[in-house]
Amino acid sequence: MPRSRYLLRWKLSRIKGANSAEQAEHWIPATVPGAVQLDWAAAHQLPDYQEGPHLNAWQEMENSAWQYRAIPGEVPPLQPDERLFLVLQGVDYACEVSLNGERLLQHTGMQTPIELDVTERWHPGVQLDVLIHPAPKAPGAPHGRSQARESCKPAVSYGWDFHPRLIPLGLWQETFLEVRSPLHFSQPPQISYALSEDCRAAQGQLQVVLNAPARKGMTLEWHLIDPEEKRVLSCEEKIEQGQSRRAIEFSLEAIQPWWPHDQGSPSLYHSEIILKASEGEVCDRHCHRIGFRQVRLVMAPGEWEMPNTFPKSRSRPPITLEINGRRLFAKGSNWVCPDIFPGRLERAHYEEQLQLVRRNHLNILRLWGGAPALKESFYELCDELGIMVWQEFPLACNDYPDTAAYLAELDQESRSLILRIRRHPSLVLWCGGNELFNNWSGMTDQSHALRLLNRNTFDLDPATPFLPTAPIDGMGHGHYVFRDPQTGEEAWAVFQKASCTAYSEFGCPAPAPLEVLKRILPEAELWPPRRGTTWESHHAFGVWMSESWLNLPEIEHYFGPCSTLEELVERGQLLQSAGYQGLYEEARRQKPVASMALNWCFNEPWPTAANNSLVAWPCVPKPALAAVGEACRPTLASARIRKFSWTPGELFDPEIWLLHDGPDALEPMEVSVWLEQDGLRRHLLSWLPGPILPNTNCRGPRAQCVLPEFEGPLFTLFLEVKDRPDWSSAYRLVKTRGISPAAPREGETRALNL
């Protein structure tokens, strides 16, 4: 008989203080999956932590212990040889499990499921308790992220420049009883494969393991159904009596590989594996989807020839993703989790955001190591939508130690994560964690944690590449401002000087959408934004550089003082849009040396007043998301523009490109370049690029004109592709503030003379 599950329901009690020996007393309803904080707040009508100054009441809960108690339910009926298992799929973070007051297990780690055989102990009236310990904190560490440095608890919860301190605890994944029989699979059947050189055929193996040696006459049936619902493989194989393992070799021709959505179809096959007894009775059944794909990190052209002087060092490591033998440019974003409480996220939450990812032409998400873990449906959606996943382990901006205790926890947690998600075709990259080789972390290639993660990914999923951290040599993080207040340099110029192999983080901040600001900030504090108010507790001031993330002086640098909140939001968001547009396109222009552009960051776990994110909490796109979407179209006309702010009389000299990441060749086309000022359009040049090879850019002419006088404050450069408005682009630029148009600045006379 196939396995049956009985979901558990729970109540919750807060233990006074952190002393877990104390008695649970007052019970409140518990929502599982969820978090103790959410239950406690609901029961006590705490005001929303997101709004105004209400966060404090939520924060202190990290120091309590909590007791979950299962609400008595149906006692599952068992056949004589069946076993009853208690399964807690994810407990955040350290816990003790007791039945009838007897402690059965101590457990630490949110990625590793708890599975306990309770057959003999489970009876009507049984008392199941899960005692949740207070949030883990490294002894002696100061308040903040370094308290997470000795555990696998996501560090962001301890406070970050876009995340308040608020540390979730509780049952964050499903909990249930499961009836298991000796005639069940003991673990999900595993399908491993390798693709042929041309990635058109697969050879592999299905492996199943039973809970007990097979009885006489048992068979294993396997059906594989292609994306068009055609059955491409169907077999029924005997399992020898007494064997508890069975492997079936297979080979498939003419497969439809899984592709990221911008390269092809994210094809998924449906696999159904049925275990049958001798009479044909179905004992167990396992259904899941498979995508066939091959992933490699390969060297960019020219990189092998560098360095070319003595003393000779190594070549920079490869970071270009090659999927199914095809190199591609990874355009994506850093995913920091759409909620502080990962337990309350469901498929619909992920889906709303992932649809935005796909719709805006992003093909990869870096699951940043500081952020909470995600549920299975996230990876399923990425498989379906053709979004590549760069998965980090829970290490970020700390020096995680070489101690036996920490390494044992990391070993367990990393193995659990790898075993759980390695089957997803969307998973293309493992990574140890965030910025671990930089001075604010202090880890090195010799750190045992990273050697352990190399080992575990190599042992359990060798075909997927592994990076110890990001950035590694050649990769770049930052800048995180539109214009550096210290150097005056704009982000566009920073990128135009750089030659990274991958831009895996770069940010431009903007204020939140008006609707968000109005909800989270008390009306009296809304205007003007000031330090010491809710603006500050929502990250508008002093969280990174002094003025981050609102960066008022920068907005005023370009536009002068703002007189309303609406004006501030509009201007700040314009800077963010322009910034990201220029950065993504510049990274793409540097292809093939550069092969990745991922902004910091996609979403946010709570509503910030200002932040680098493209999407405000819970899922409110900022205008920059659309700008990024435009910049990441597979094909577009693009302009390399030296700077954002221009003075009439200067030589305006954008370089024109045709960017093309698509897998097809392009016919010749006509690009015309126009300048629009005060509603007047001037033709700067026409250019006939093409034919253009697949996944290849085309560098074109440099337009040049002495910038005419105009009123401003904005003007626009248009790149129009004849008959392909979907490839045309527009760049909004700004007139330099406070410059008399008649008086060119020093150093610009050459330009004016042209």
Q: Which residues bind its own copies (CB under 8 A)?
A: 296-297, 299, 304-305, 310-315, 317-318, 437-439, 442, 444-446, 448, 451-452, 454-455, 458-459, 462, 465-467, 469, 471-479, 484, 494-495, 498, 500, 503, 506
Q: Which of 295, 325, 322, 317 is nearest to 430 (CA)?
A: 295
Complex with its own copies: residue 305 or 667, whichever CB lies closer: 305
Complex with its own copies: residue 314 or 750, whichever CB lies closer: 314
Q: How far is the CB of 412 from its own copies (least distance, A)?
A: 16
Complex with its own copies: residue 111 or 456, whichever CB lies closer: 456
Complex with its own copies: residue 475 or 510, whichever CB lies closer: 475
Complex with its own copies: residue 120 or 305, whichever CB lies closer: 305
Q: How far is the CB of 494 from its own copies (least distance, A)?
A: 6
Q: Which of 475, 495, 473, 476 is nearest to 484 (CA)?
A: 495
Complex with its own copies: residue 429 or 669, whichever CB lies closer: 429
Complex with its own copies: residue 237 or 459, whichever CB lies closer: 459
Q: How far is the CB of 597 from its own copies (least distance, A)?
A: 11
Q: What is the CA radius of gyration of the chain?
A: 28
The order of strands in the sheet holding 655-660 is 635-640, 655-660, 698-702
For residue 19, give both structure tokens.
């002393």
Q: How far is the CB of 9 from its own copies (least distance, A)?
A: 44
Taking the C-alpha atoms of residue 509 and residue 129, their distance in angstroms, rounded to an integer, is 45
Q: Which of 652, 649, 648, 669 is nearest to 660 (CA)?
A: 669
DSSP at 316: P
Q: How far is the CB of 481 from its own copies (least distance, A)?
A: 9
For residue 741, give both structure tokens.
């148009």
Taking the C-alpha atoms of residue 34 and residue 21, their distance in angstroms, rounded to an integer, is 24
Residue identified by tokens 């509503």 is: 607
Q: How far is the CB of 52 from its own copies (least distance, A)?
A: 35
Q: How far is the CB of 448 from its own copies (least distance, A)?
A: 6
Q: How far is the CB of 363 from its own copies (least distance, A)?
A: 20
Q: Which of 402, 438, 449, 369 is nearest to 154 (CA)?
A: 369
Q: How far is the CB of 599 from its own copies (least distance, A)?
A: 12
Complex with its own copies: residue 173 or 469, whichever CB lies closer: 469
Q: How far is the CB of 475 from its own copies (least distance, A)?
A: 6
518: which residues sit within 8 A by CB, 6+ positions away? 526
DSSP at 372: P
Distance from the Cα of residue 657 to its chain's centroid: 30
Complex with its own copies: residue 322 or 384, whichever CB lies closer: 322
Complex with its own copies: residue 467 or 521, whichever CB lies closer: 467
Nearest 5°: phi and psi at 326? Answer: -115, 125
Taking the C-alpha atoms of residue 557 and residue 360, their distance in angstroms, rounded to an integer, is 30
Distance spanning both ends of the chain, measured CA to CA: 85
Residue identified by tokens 């550089």 is: 545
Q: How far is the CB of 590 from its own copies (least distance, A)?
A: 11
Q: How far is the CB of 431 from its own copies (least distance, A)?
A: 12
Taking the C-alpha atoms of residue 320 and residue 327, their distance in angstroms, rounded to an integer, is 7
Q: How far is the CB of 314 from its own copies (least distance, A)?
A: 4
Q: How far is the CB of 358 from its own copies (least distance, A)?
A: 26
Q: How far is the CB of 394 from its own copies (least distance, A)?
A: 20
Taking the C-alpha atoms of residue 308 and residue 312, their distance in angstroms, rounded to an integer, is 7
Complex with its own copies: residue 506 or 580, whichever CB lies closer: 506
**Measured CA angle at 251 (ends 216, 215), to 5 deg:** 10
Complex with its own copies: residue 79 or 446, whichever CB lies closer: 446
Q: Which of 510, 477, 637, 519 is nearest to 580 (CA)?
A: 510
For residue 527, give both structure tokens.
């205007």
Complex with its own copies: residue 355 or 412, whichever CB lies closer: 412
Taking the C-alpha atoms of residue 377 and residue 393, their distance in angstroms, rounded to an integer, is 18
Complex with its own copies: residue 84 or 396, whichever CB lies closer: 396
Asked if residue 203 lies in contact with residue 250, where contact means CB atoms within 8 angstroms, the answer is yes
218: which residues sit within 8 A by CB, 6+ positions away? 183, 238, 239, 241, 275, 276, 277, 278, 283
How would you label 38-64 residue by residue, b for 16+ Cβ within 10 Å and e otherwise?
bbbbeeeeeeebbebeebeebeebbeb
Q: How far is the CB of 473 from its own copies (least distance, A)?
A: 5
Q: What is the DSSP string of 543-558?
A: SSSTTTTT-HHHHHHH
How would you label 261-284 residue by residue, b for 16+ Cβ within 10 Å and e otherwise?
bbbbebbbbebebbbbbeeeeebb
Q: Which of 403, 404, 402 is nearest to 443 (CA)?
A: 402
Complex with its own copies: residue 268 or 628, whichever CB lies closer: 628
Q: How far is the CB of 466 from its own copies (least distance, A)?
A: 7
14: which residues sit within 8 A by CB, 6+ positions away? 26, 36, 40, 61, 64, 66
Complex with its own copies: residue 495 or 731, whichever CB lies closer: 495
Asked if residue 355 lies in contact with residue 331, where contact means CB atoms within 8 angstroms, the answer is no
Taking the C-alpha atoms of residue 417 and residue 30, their distance in angstroms, rounded to an integer, is 26
Complex with its own copies: residue 368 or 617, whichever CB lies closer: 368
